[in-house]
Amino acid sequence: MKSSVIKAQLLSKWYGEVIGLNSFNMDAGPGITGIVGPNGAGKSTLFKLIIGMIKPSKGSLDVLGMDPWLNKKLSSKIGFCPDYDNLPDDATGFEFLRLSGGLHGMSGTGLNSRIKEVSRTVGIDYALERKIGGYSKGMRQRIKIAGALLHDPELLLLDEPLSGADPRARRSLIDVIISLNRDSGHDILVSSHVLFEVERMTKDVVLIYKGRAVASGDIYGIRELMDEHPHNIIIEGKGMVELGKRLLELEHTVSVSFDGSKERLRVEVKRPDEFFDNVPEMLLESGGELREMYSQDDNLAAVFRYLVGR
């Protein structure tokens, strides 16, 4: 029988009249658990409750067997990578990690060697002497994860760690997250508004919508629902006309349209993971140049509406 890493029962959080989380229930065991929901669903509120930045209005929350509110003993067992950018642009990656380690009571050569180890693990060791202000989005996510990992926490909280990263960085970050669990044994709670990205990391998911857990458990059942609702993907770059023509030939493409300009495609697909696997090759063939590619959460909202019966 699995033991609970995070257990929430009828957990609610209100900000004045705004509901952040509403009678939320979850029971996450060891390993990687995905929290999936559209923007504004309550994912970040849940993370802030788990790390003890905010206090529950109602209900109970148990993290590693402890109440997180004002619990500093628990803080040393959790590493938190928030969804917002809280990095000091004027500091180097090394200085940032020195501060992170210092706040966890680490110092001296022990801290320096741990910084080297962790930065290698997340793939940011080559840029530690550079100012964070010059980092790409993917690098910023990596340094945040490194900061959260430095004190070797039992539980890692990664709130939208793939947000804003380009496709290659996303894939690489997913590999890092998987290895943090598989090779280093960290239990991980990771959130995303893109289901198929979470699917690449874990099969255990909790779907959150309007502050409630609307479904939890094995991802495959949820995936089937997902495939019934086309997925919106935006692609920006050069050669989009030719790429659009080729995309239309794919079986899982539902529709292709230009979104405001001829350098911005909106594609509706049924199987996003297959779609993402196909795009690089098609771009090469069509001679196109990719600037940005990201999925929107409209389809996820459709699944949630279905799940809550609206």
Partner 1 sequence: MDITAFVSLTIYKFRKILFNKRVLAALLVGVLVTGVMAYASTLDVVFRDGAILLDVLIISFFLPVVTMFYGSSVIRDEIEDMSITMVITSPMRRWAAYLSYYTALLLSLLLLLFMILTAGFLAFFIPLGLDSNALELYLNMLLLVSIGCVVYSALFLLASVVLERSIYFGLFYAFIWEGFIGSIPGRISEFALKHYIRSIGAGRMELMEFAAASGMTYSFQVLTVVTVVLLAVGIFIFRYKEFPG
What is the binding site for partner 1 (CB under 8 A)? 15, 20, 44-45, 48, 51-55, 70, 72-73, 75-76, 78, 80, 82, 84, 86-88, 90, 95, 98-107, 147
Residue number, 72 or 310, with CB nearest to partner 1: 72
Least distance to partner 1, CB of residue 165, Å: 19
Residue number, 86 or 257, with CB nearest to partner 1: 86
123 φψ region: left (φ > 0), alpha (ψ -120 to 50), beta (else): left
Give the CB-side neighbour count of residue 188, counting CA atoms within 13 A: 31
Residue number, 42 or 230, with CB nearest to partner 1: 42
Residue number, 49 or 226, with CB nearest to partner 1: 49
Residue number, 99 or 302, with CB nearest to partner 1: 99
Residue number, 44 or 286, with CB nearest to partner 1: 44
> Are 199 and 273 a contacting pair, CB within 8 Å?
yes
Question: Would you state the structure tokens that stand for residue 78, as one six-digit string?
Answer: 């959790």
Least distance to partner 1, CB of residue 307, Å: 27
Least distance to partner 1, CB of residue 136, Å: 20
> Are 87 and 108 a contacting pair, CB within 8 Å?
no
CA distances, 259 to each of 61, 193, 240, 296, 303 (Å) = 43, 21, 11, 13, 23
Least distance to partner 1, CB of residue 94, Å: 13
Residue with tokens 């929430």: 8
Least distance to partner 1, CB of residue 33, Å: 19
Least distance to partner 1, CB of residue 270, Å: 36
Least distance to partner 1, CB of residue 128, Å: 16
Least distance to partner 1, CB of residue 114, Å: 14
Show the beta-strand stretches assigned E in 16-84. Answer: 18-28, 32-36, 58-63, 78-81
The backbone torsions φ and ψ at residue 123, rounded to the nearest 5 degrees and listed phi first, read: 75, 40
85 φψ region: left (φ > 0), alpha (ψ -120 to 50), beta (else): beta
Residue number, 91 or 302, with CB nearest to partner 1: 91
Beta-carbon count within 10 A of 124 CB: 24
CA distances, 117 to each of 112, 113, 150, 155, 242 (Å) = 9, 6, 9, 18, 45
The per-type count for the chain, helices as H runs and strands as E runs, is 11, 13
Residue number, 70 or 284, with CB nearest to partner 1: 70
Number of residues that make up the chain: 310
